[in-house]
Amino acid sequence: MENFLGKFLKEKFDLMQTEPSVVGIDIGSSFLKVVQLKKKKGKAVLETYGELALGPYAGLAVGQATSLSVEKISTALKDLFREANITAQSSAVSIPLGASLLSIMEMPIMDSKQLAKMIPIEARKYIPVPISEVVLDWWVVPKHYDSVDDSSAEGNVKEDERKKRVDVLVVAIHNETVDKYRSIIQESGLKNNFLELEVFSMARATFGNNTAPVMLLDFGAGTTKLAIVEYGIIRNQHIINRGSQDITISISKSLGVSIEKAEHLKRDIGLTGAGADADISKAASLTLEHIFSETNRVLLNYQRRYNKTIKNVVLTGGGALLKGLHDFAGSNLETEVLFADPFSKMEAPAFLEPLLKDAGPEFAVAIGLALRKLQELG
């Protein structure tokens, strides 16, 4: 009887135990996005998610890029938490790629203590402000040696020298930026939080540990961010100073309509316009041709430099939802184009699957943040 009662009480207690929930928070220039997850039987489970336009908080149209104060971002975040029924306080928050300096330095092989002393000294060559004004972090990048095609003596010497050095990924973020995001977290009443560059969160939610080089194309409102990921490591990154907001502006000027009207036309028609709507798609394509031309340049330069083929380009960000973008990108890029599907990394109700698949690209950063926070909980 004791054994039965003990087992019953244990089962009752286990049912009462609740796994803590976590929330990933993507603070973009035009939208806030949040995803709340919990762990159940070792798997990530989607509890809720949502997004909120920031334009109205700055007196601008939905979809326009903003530069809001800490107070207004915190207010918007509280509003979104209420609308999306976010209950978690354990959080992870993104920092924009443009607010950082990310580079790979080649260093001689040495022990970790020596490396920790040398990296800040070497990083001064790459960082245009005093080291004391930035938060500096770094990781040794594992090397995956390829066979050397050049069998000459000179080729062998170069390979030997290469093996005596190590690549180090260095990230520098200005102290003021870190302080700003910590203030947002504090004013929003969150706790147990960490900050992470959006590109790392995006890669975690999208790729995992792919061995072949893959390019991320994050289509935001004000900028388009590119990152080449290999073996799960960011090997290259680039920012194009045009985004989906530029498409809206182009449509507005071309058709002589308001920004609000142009935003609706962009969302409703995009690149699929024909007949009377052809001018809308033509205006949109002008901005995209520049973005994809620059993307091809980065892609081909990487392939030439490292003699490796980029397997595919994965589209993320809110701008990736533009109608007709997949086909347009496929015809303008030198490799296969895919949409990110980060919601596939978690359990969710089956009836939501089509909706989540469509929404996936714009929630990649928030999902990547929440997944890392779950990993921290063990």
pLDDT value for 149: 45
pLDDT > 90? residue 150:
no
pLDDT value for 81: 96
Q: Does any domain span residue 169? A: yes
- Residue 47's pLDDT band, with cuts at 50, 70 and 90, is very high
Q: Are 263 and 277 in contact (CB under 8 A)?
A: no
List the CATH number of the domain containing 66: 3.30.420.40
- State mean pLDDT over 14-42: 84
**pLDDT over 90 for what percent of the chain?**
58
pLDDT > 70? residue 315:
yes
- Residue 335's pLDDT band, with cuts at 50, 70 and 90, is confident
pLDDT value for 124: 85
pLDDT > 90? residue 143:
no
Q: How many domains are there within the chain?
A: 1
Task: Answer with the residue of higher pLDDT: 169 or 35.
Answer: 35
- State mean pLDDT over 280-305: 94
pLDDT > 80? residue 160:
no
- Residue 15's pLDDT band, with cuts at 50, 70 and 90, is very low
- Residue 220's pLDDT band, with cuts at 50, 70 and 90, is very high
Coil, strand, or helix at residue 76? helix
pLDDT > 50? residue 164:
yes
pLDDT value for 9: 33
* 152: CB partners within 8 A, 6+ apart: none
- Residue 147's pLDDT band, with cuts at 50, 70 and 90, is very low
Mean pLDDT, all residues of the chain: 86
Q: Where are the beta strands (DSSP E) in the chain?
A: 21-27, 31-40, 43-53, 90-95, 100-108, 134-141, 165-174, 191-197, 214-219, 224-230, 233-240, 312-316, 336-339
- Residue 11's pLDDT band, with cuts at 50, 70 and 90, is very low
Query: Which tokens go with 108?
Result: 């001689």
pLDDT value for 155: 47
User: Which residues, in sequence order, are bridge partners of residue 229?
Assistant: 214, 234
pLDDT value for 210: 63
pLDDT value for 10: 38
User: Which residues, in sequence order, are bridge partners of residue 5?
Assistant: none
Q: Does any domain span residue 1? A: no
Lowest mean pLDDT among 76-85, 159-168, 206-215: 159-168
* pTM of this structure: 0.86
End-to-end CA gap in the chain: 35
pLDDT > 90? residue 85:
yes
- State mean pLDDT over 282-305: 94
Q: Does any domain span residue 290? A: yes
pLDDT > 90? residue 273:
no
Query: Which tokens go with 194?
Result: 């960490």
- State mean pLDDT over 210-223: 88
pLDDT value for 162: 60
- State mean pLDDT over 176-199: 90
Q: Does any domain span residue 2? A: no
Structural domain that includes position 80: 8-377
- State mean pLDDT over 229-249: 90
- Residue 378's pLDDT band, with cuts at 50, 70 and 90, is low
Report how far apart, in Å, the C-alpha atoms of 66 and of each of 27, 29, 72, 200 are.
Answer: 11, 5, 11, 23
Q: Does any domain span residue 3? A: no
pLDDT > 90? residue 368:
yes
